[in-house]
């Protein structure tokens, strides 16, 4: 393709989304929605979904009691449910940390 010439509309739109960060914010929103559906509204209000690093989803938690419940009792079920709803994420683990 000639440099400086017109681009196909699909390529131009893809580049615009990448430059503006819209694709990332949409993915973040979808992940937060999946987390809320899996964890439930009460838990979702007291947690914040972070980034995925090497297959591990980071989740900040408001208080230590909830952190203990999530990490100790609910982690495996939540992970299985998230992987069922969003298999493309290929999550290996959930890591909960106390929000500072």
Domain ranges of the chain: 9-98
The answer to whether 91 and 57 are in contact (CB under 8 A) is: yes
Closest CA to 70 of 48, 85, 100: 48
pLDDT at 19: 65
Q: Is the pLDDT of residue 36 over 80?
A: yes
The tokens for 59 are 């989740």
Q: Hey, CA dihedral for 81, 86, 91, 96, is it positive or negative? A: negative
Contacts of 67 (CB under 8 A, 6+ apart): 61, 96, 97, 98
- Give the distance, in angstroms, between the CA of residue 62 and the centroid of all CA atoms in the same chain: 18
Q: Is the pLDDT of residue 22 over 60?
A: no
Q: Domain 9-98: state its class.
A: alpha beta
- For residue 1, name the pLDDT band (cuts at 50, 70, 90): very low
Q: Average pLDDT of the chain? A: 87
């Amino acid at each position: 393709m000639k440099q400086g010439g017109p681009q196909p509309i699909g390529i131009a739109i893809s580049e615009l989304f990448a430059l503006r960060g819209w694709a990332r914010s949409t993915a973040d929103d979808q992940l937060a929605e999946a987390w809320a559906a899996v964890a439930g509204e009460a838990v979702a209000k007291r947690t914040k979904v972070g980034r995925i690093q090497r297959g591990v989803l980071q989740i900040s938690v408001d208080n230590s009691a909830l952190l203990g419940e999530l990490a100790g009792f609910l982690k495996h079920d939540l992970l299985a449910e998230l992987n069922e709803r969003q298999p493309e994420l290929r999550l290996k683990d959930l890591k909960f940390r106390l929000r500072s």
